[in-house]
Amino acid sequence: MSDRAEMKGPNARRRMANINGGGAKQANGSKWSDAGEKPPHYPGKVKAEDGVHNRASKNGKGDRGMPVQQQQLTNGSRKHKSVADDINEKLSCHVLQESLLSSASGYSNYRGILNWCVVMLMLSNARLFLENIIKYGILVDPIQVVSLFLKDPYSWPAACLIIVSNVLILAALYIERRLAVGTISEITGLILHIFNLTSMLVFPAAVVLTSTSMTPVGGVLSLGVYTVLFLKLYSYQDTNRWCREIRQAKARRLTRSYSCPSVAQSNGSAVHMNVSYPGNLTYRDMYYFVFVPTLCYQLNFPRSPRIRKRFLMRRLFEMLFLMQLLVGLIQQWMVPTIQNSMKPFQEMDFSRMVERLLKLAVPNHLIWLIFFYWFFHSCMNFLAELMQFGDREFYRDWWNSESITYFWANWNIPVHKWCLRHFYRPMLSKGFSKFLGQSAVFMVSAFFHEYLVSIPLKMFRLWAFMGMMFQVPLAWFVGRYLTGNYGNAAVWMSLIIGQPVAVLMYVHDYYIIHHVTTT
């Protein structure tokens, strides 16, 4: 070692002793001075620490802008605090908390359980479907589907009946034109509309009941078209009457609508002009309203800017695929179960009846869900996109229904809007209570349900009517005593069990009338 290094050695050792608090310790806890040995010498490190010590001693502060003694105390307190935290963690491992499956925990991420339910549902239905294939074989028959619509290939009564409906549509337009120019009075127009709307319900029912070549499926299809037209024409005459009242009272002026657009070409896109009453009383406007997926007529239909071809093709593919799936599931799954249910119903074997009912509930509910998606999402969106109809709210979150009334108000928005606009609110404005208004809405719905089932089957048992009217006390009970998840479970239970009961009742009575009586 050089002389210069030897001269700096003792001073460096003294500085090291000051900085390290009296000397560095060995691994066994003794100091270098206690062992009688000299500590190792690091000149570079000594110089760096010497500079820090000199700056700290000159300024009286440490490297964080605080006094050296205070910094040492802070570092020591942090060290003691971390040690105390470690000890506390070792001593206590419990806190005040609820179980995840308790409602008080506030936990809501049950995605894994939902996936498990879906997997279990798929596996159980796959087992049932495989059991059905093994027991009955392949029952899907496309030729039999055609026979459901036609008995005679040269007689198409359902299609002819639908074509004849144009006469009643044009009659409603002619009546409104005469009312608009004042050639007939309001009373005369009202009588003519009542006669026309009554014909909408009576005429097709009479044809279905008297025609021997009309199949039940064809009857349901034709009566369904006439029912939709009845609701549309009722809204049509109601809205035009309101327009006349506004025009006569000169309260305000309606703007022109998109329901009857005057189309002009501008840069390759259609520019829609507005119409005002009575400019809306045209063939174009009437048939646009007939084909558009809504039951409520208005002079200002929202319009989409263009037709999305990819969206249209997706909906068309869904329509075709799901239609085939529905027919296949009905033939393969529901028909054998219904046929096997006839004997327990005839013998009034209640245990077997309940077993058949529960067995039918699964395929019936699955088919109903597929039908909902097929009709309210695929078909109505396809038609709306084709007609450039902008209001696509055909349903809301009915699956989250916690009451019966919420379900019926959100699963079929076009019918719900019609009932509110043309039936429920007019009743309230005339002084009726909300309960009577809701009961009347359920009664009208019950009438049309029975109308669409009993007349095509050519028998009157009122099972659909009573099933709909039973919704009134059920809605009161669920709304009063069940809330939250319990109310939602009650809604699902009514959907899963209620529909198979009505199906079995009608099939049983139809079988007794048309098969047992003839044999």
Task: Please give the positions annotated as active site.
Answer: 449
Question: What 3 state SS string does 264-319 have?
Answer: EEECCEEECCCCCCCCCCCHHHHHHHHHCCCCCCCCCCCECCCCCHHHHHHHHHHH
**Collapsed DSSP state (helix, strand, coil) of residue 475:** helix
Residue with tokens 């009122």: 462
**Collapsed DSSP state (helix, strand, coil) of residue 20:** coil
Residues 6+ apart with CB under 8 A from 406: 398, 491
* Residue spans of beta strands (DSSP E) within 230-276: 264-266, 269-271
Distance, in Å, from the CA atom of 317 to the CA atom of 314, rounded to the nearest integer, reads 5
How many CA within 13 A on the CB side of residue 90?
A: 6
DSSP 38: P
Distance, in Å, from the CA atom of 317 to the CA atom of 322, rounded to the nearest integer, reads 8
Residue with tokens 């110089």: 47
Contact 261, 273 (CB under 8 A): yes
For 217, counting Cβ atoms within 10 Å of its Cβ (0-12 exposed, 13-18 middle, 19+ buried), the class is: middle
Provide the 10 A C-beta neighbour count for residue 278.
Answer: 16
Contact 252, 246 (CB under 8 A): yes
Q: Side chain identity at 77, as an amino acid letter?
A: S
Helix intervals (H) in 411-516: 413-419, 425-429, 434-457, 463-469, 471-481, 484-511
| R_g over Cα of the chain | 40
Contact 259, 250 (CB under 8 A): no
Nearest to 187 by CA among 241, 264, 147, 110: 241
Q: In degrees to the nearest 10, what's the CA dihedral of 430, 433, 437, 440? A: -100
Q: In degrees to the nearest 10, what's the CA dihedral of 127, 129, 134, 139? A: 180
Residue with tokens 């319900």: 201
